[in-house]
Structure 1
Amino acid sequence: MTIWDSMMNQKRELLLNTALDLFYYKGINSIGINEIIKVSGVAKKTLYSHFNGKNDLIMAVLNQRHQVFIKWLEDKLSRPGSDHELIDCLFESLQSWFDGNEQALGSFGGCFFINTSAEFSNQESDISHYCRYHKEQVRQLIQSKLNFKSPDLLNAICLLKEGAITTAYLTGESIEAIQSSKNVLHKIVC
């Protein structure tokens, strides 16, 4: 790799990180290309040498966040042996994220994929498809870690996980949602 290639890769990463930060905390539709260029300090020509337009940038940001989240979740769920431990680990990891203690995910601003899909009404768009893909990948990861292969248990875990994330984002109160979710799921696993 040449020095030029390395610089271009660094600028692409800077654009992705800046766009993710702005999109995540301010919303995708409220952020334009010019603001991303201004905040990142990268030239417009450089942005367009990496991305065909805003939708291409959005897709790249979604992919980046997906990769980070899946790696984080995989790491968190690698230790539990029993389904009880898996449930505790999952929801305690979520609580840690809500509390701002998960450096890999940054400050909590809700689920980027739920937030993004809420901004795009066309369910057939590439953006909506990617948001659903992310949720399915998370679901498959959780399923792969379960010992008890029950569709009902998997559905309950995924629904309660999404509910806890949404509750934490909307109310700022998550401890009760996390504890209630764990209690319900432990009763199902028994």
Structure 2
Amino acid sequence: MDKRQQLIVTAFELFYRHGIHAVGINQILQCSGVAKKTLYHHFPGKEALVEAVVAYRDRNYLEWLDARLARAEGGVPAVIEALFDALDDWFNDRVELLTAFHGCFFINTCGEYGDPEHQVHRRCARHKAAVIARIAGHLARCGLEQEQALALADTLGLLKEGAIVQAHVTGDTQAALKGKALAVTLARL
């Protein structure tokens, strides 16, 4: 891993666990073992590092989600089950790529960057839109019309987000399974 990537991975781990504004540059440098001069060679400041961390998590999460949804065979119900089974694995720390569960990095980050016009907030919003688009794409692959796939993906997205918040805020590690049961029921209506 090169120094730039080492900084991003270390910053992500610290930001995800403690919050972006609670973590200073010196803590990132100490944990990464990278010199301050090297950090500023790659990033002009903490905001640029934050944006790189958001992009890093976005890539990892979307690749993981795509891989999990691509395994679904058996139509729309299989995609729904794959989505919530993937979340269940994440909430219960069975997904090494995503690290230990501390809620949604993008929701947490938006809590720290509340201005919807801020670049970091906008990047998080784009991530959420990309997740819905990915889910819709997998639903369309099962034969749903694009409009139907988007509508169902939007509904599943609401349930997914609620399950994430429930798991994080209350520690309900069964939240994804509860969301799956509800989603499957709704899809039958």
Match of 2:60 in 1: 68
Tell me the residue number matched to 2:113: 120
Secondary structure of the structure 2 residue equivalent to 1:29 = coil
Aligned to 1:42: 34
**Alignment partners' CA distance in 2, 1:130 and 1:115:** 13
- Residue 35 (structure 1) shift: 1.1
CA offset at residue 93 of structure 1? Answer: 0.7
Gaps of 5+ in 1: 1-8
Partner of residue 24, structure 2: 32
- Percent identical: 39
Letter of the aligned partner of 2:39 in structure 1? Answer: L
Query: Distance in 2 between the 1:179 and 1:23 partners?
Result: 28
Distance 1:174 1:160 in 2: 15
CA contact (8 A) 1:153 1:185 kept: no
Give the equivalent residue in structure 1 for 2:95: 102
**Paired residue secondary structure (1:18):** helix
Q: Cα distance, 1:181 vs. partner? A: 1.9
Equivalent residue runs for 1:1-190 within 5 Å: 10-81=2-73, 82-146=75-139, 147=142, 148-149=144-145, 150=148, 151-175=150-174, 177-190=175-188
Q: TM-score, normalised by structure 2?
A: 0.92
Aligned to 1:3: none
Alignment partners' CA distance in 2, 1:102 and 1:137 = 20
CA contact (8 A) 1:84 1:186 kept: yes
Structure 2: where are the runs of 5+ without partners?
none
1:11 and 1:42 in contact (8 A); partners too? yes
Relative to the length of structure 1, the TM-score reads 0.91
| Cα deviation, residue 180, structure 1 | 3.0
The 8 Å contact of residues 89 and 95 in structure 2, kept in 1 or not, is answered as: yes
Aligned partner letter, 2:118: S
Task: Tell me how far apart the structure 1 counterparts of residues 55 and 177 of structure 2 sit (CA, whole Å).
Answer: 31
